[in-house]
Amino acid sequence: MRLLKLLLILLAIGIVSCKKKDSKDIKVTTTPHHKKVIGFHPYQNEGLHQRYDYDQLSALAYTSVALDPASGELLALNNWEKTTTIDSMLSKGGKVYITIQLRHLSEAKESLSPSALLKNKTIMTKSITNIQYLLDLRKADGVVFDLDNLDTNDSAGFTKYMISLACQLKPDQELLIILPAVQPNYLDIYSLNQYVDSFILSEKGYWDTENNTVGPVAPIRSKKNSIRSSVKNYLALGVPKEKLILSVPYYGSLWKITQKTDSTQAATFLKYLTYKNIKNAYPQKVKYDSLAKSAYIEMVVDGSQLQLWFDNPQTLAAKYDFVNQNDLGGVALSYLGHDDGYAELWNLLDEKFNQQTASK
């Protein structure tokens, strides 16, 4: 904590030079959107990128490059150096980001924490140098940093790391952070906000797949965790609404019901399915949860009762309306290509974020 305070003091008095980010510094793109529309492109979906409607995106986040927090070294570029997806996005006047995830060479559970990176100045400096190398390699517009495996003890180190990274970026490059859906009180939002361009609220984590209770992936409202409660919490912590980006799932969760009562349904999580998988393989009647604003399908397969929760144009429209009505910064799509072969989700983006701009 003392190191963080010292760094902030040095930054404030100019011994360490770094321009703080203000809401008015948020960069606009040449696309016609009045909101940011960021598409997460998994590198595994490389062949699908030729069918993306780039006109509906303000930015594409290449997902992802792995960084080893034990050494600061890049583990795999995952085709970043030669993918044509980047060229396609840039040709449309949009921005390109690289998503960074911390992944150890070792798979031992005790090695998953980023503590080594956050407590070692040499490792931290090496990792920032490697991130800047990635950005320069493709003339990218910024970096998206995923907060996987961060815990309370890492908060001060992570804040210092993000400030150091922001200070090393070029003036026209952006720093974006993916926030956990269920808001952790230990994040120093006040300090981070001064150096971060956008905060992306993750679509993961609202419904724990290990709690043996069936439920939606990203409910707008819920008796437990929800988009509405998470947005409220982060705004109260000081995230400016124009900097907060809502991530939405282009996938669903399949559950096997093990016990059903009047109030709850005990269940076992089976797997995630992409929007394309759902459209192709599940023609059953779609039902809607009016509280969560989520779609679901009930079915019996081989004697087992199953439930499939997902988002479709109707429920995504409710989420996009929530963004517009609350003046949030935009949306992030998780993930591009998950709807391959179906144009309705692209059309919805055009309706909610493109046509509205043209009509103003």
pLDDT for 101-140, tens place per residue? 987 555 444 445 688 889 899 999 999 999 999 999 999 9
SS3 per residue for 309-335: EECCHHHHHHHHHHHHHCCCCEEEEEC
Range from 151-155, 234-238, 292-296, 332-336 carrying the lowest mean pLDDT:
151-155
Q: Say which residue, 161 or 3, is predicted with more confidence.
A: 161
Specify the amino acid at residue 176: L
User: How is the beta sheet containing 304-310 ordered, strand by strand?
Assistant: 265-274, 251-260, 304-310, 294-301, 287-289
Give tens-digit pLDDT for 163-192: 999 999 999 999 999 999 987 778 999 999
Q: What is the rounded CA–CA span in Å between residue 327 and residue 309?
A: 27
| Residue 354 DSSP code | I
Provide the pLDDT for residue 319. 98
Look up residue 30 and give its two tokens.
């040449």
Residue 40 makes CB contacts below 8 A (sequence gap 6+) with 61, 63, 99, 247, 332, 333, 334, 335, 336
Structural contact between residues 246 and 331, judged by C-beta atoms closer than 8 angstroms: yes
Taking Cα atoms as reference points, which of 119, 144, 121, 147 lies closest to residue 131? 144
Provide the pLDDT for residue 133. 97
Q: What is the rounded CA–CA span in Å between residue 248 and residue 216?
A: 12
Give tens-digit pLDDT for 204-256: 999 988 778 899 999 999 988 999 999 999 999 999 999 999 999 999 999 99
Beta strands in 114-197 (DSSP E): 142-146, 174-179
The separation between the first and the last C-alpha atoms of the chain, rounded to the nearest angstrom, is 48
Structural contact between residues 131 and 167, judged by C-beta atoms closer than 8 angstroms: no
The runs of H, that is alpha helices, within 92-154 are: 115-119, 121-138
Structural contact between residues 97 and 60, judged by C-beta atoms closer than 8 angstroms: yes
Structural contact between residues 296 and 310, judged by C-beta atoms closer than 8 angstroms: yes
The domain covering 20-249+313-358 belongs, at the CATH homologous superfamily level, to Glycosidases (3.20.20.80)
Q: With a cut of 90, say whether residue 295 has pLDDT above it.
A: yes
Q: Which helix (H) or strand (E) holds 299?
A: strand 294-301
Provide the pLDDT for residue 358. 45
| Residue 353 DSSP code | I
Distances from the Cα of 138 to the Cα of 68, 82, 83, 196, 242, angstroms: 21, 9, 10, 21, 28
Q: What is the rounded CA–CA span in Å between residue 141 and residue 59?
A: 9
What's the average model confidence in pLDDT over 194-211?
92
Residue extents of the structural domains in the chain: 20-249+313-358
Provide the pLDDT for residue 349. 98
Provide the pLDDT for residue 263. 65
What's the average model confidence in pLDDT over 149-170?
90
Q: With a cut of 80, say whether residue 275 has pLDDT above it.
A: yes
Give tens-digit pLDDT for 22-48: 544 554 443 456 799 999 999 999 999
- Dihedral sign, Cα of residue 69, residue 71, residue 74, residue 75: negative
Q: Which residue is it, tokens 């809401």?
A: 23
Provide the pLDDT for residue 15. 39
Residue 153: band (very low, low, confident or very high) from pLDDT cuts 50, 70, 90: confident
Q: With a cut of 70, say whether residue 11 has pLDDT above it.
A: no
Q: With a cut of 90, say whether residue 144 has pLDDT above it.
A: yes
Q: Which residue is it, tokens 């190398």?
A: 133
What's the average model confidence in pLDDT over 59-83?
94
For residue 296, what are the β-bridge partners? 287, 309
Look up residue 345 and give its two tokens.
């989700």
Provide the pLDDT for residue 116. 82
Structural contact between residues 181 and 230, judged by C-beta atoms closer than 8 angstroms: yes
Provide the pLDDT for residue 111. 46
Number of alpha carbons in the 13 Å side-chain half-sphere of residue 263: 1
Distances from the Cα of 55 to the Cα of 83, 95, 239, angstroms: 19, 12, 28
Q: Which residue is it, tokens 């008015």?
A: 24
Q: What's the full length of the chain, in residues? A: 360
Q: With a cut of 60, say whether residue 359 has pLDDT above it.
A: no
Residue 193: band (very low, low, confident or very high) from pLDDT cuts 50, 70, 90: very high
Structural contact between residues 340 and 41, judged by C-beta atoms closer than 8 angstroms: no
Q: What is the rounded CA–CA span in Å between residue 120 and residue 145?
A: 18
Q: With a cut of 80, say whether residue 99 has pLDDT above it.
A: yes
